[in-house]
Structure formats: C-alpha cells, structure tokens
Amino acid sequence: MPINATPVTSEMIINLDNGLSATGNVLVRARRYSGVKPDAANEDIYNIASEMAALQERQVINIQRRDITELSE
C-alpha cells in the first residue's frame, strides 16, 4: 500500500556559539523560527537566516532547515 507524504511546515534554525563548557566542549544555542512555508526555497531561507544571524552577538555555527511531513495511507 503506498504511503502519501504531505509537507506540513518547516522550521529555520540558527545555531550559535554560546562559549565553552567546563570540559571544553562548545555550547550551542539554537534560535528556532517555526511556521516557515514548506515550499520556501532553501536559498531564500538561508538568505533570511544569514540576515538575522548578522544581528546576533554570537558567532553562527550553522543554519539548518527542519521539514515536517505528514504520512498517511
């Protein structure tokens, strides 16, 4: 039986360097922005995240996109 995959929403995540832990590991602070349209282009999300990251005091580690997809029969 085929399973249908329907994009529901996406989330943009900007991971920031939040210093070092007592053991020397990098601490990551994630800034999450939900409600991103699932059909938004990756380039557009990256450009917006880059502009928003420029407003942060902390160094950007990476930019991520998380897609939520509903599976049904």
- What pLDDT is recorded for position 32? 97
Task: Indicate whether 66 pLDDT > 90.
Answer: yes
CA angle 4, 6, 70 (to 5 degrees): 85
Query: What's the total number of domains in the chain?
Result: 1
- What pLDDT is recorded for position 1? 81
pTM higher than 0.75: yes
pLDDT band at 3 (very low <50, low <70, confident <90, very high): very high
- What pLDDT is recorded for position 41? 97
The domain in which residue 58 lies consists of 4-72
pLDDT tens-place string over residues 25-60: 999 999 999 999 999 999 999 999 999 999 999 999
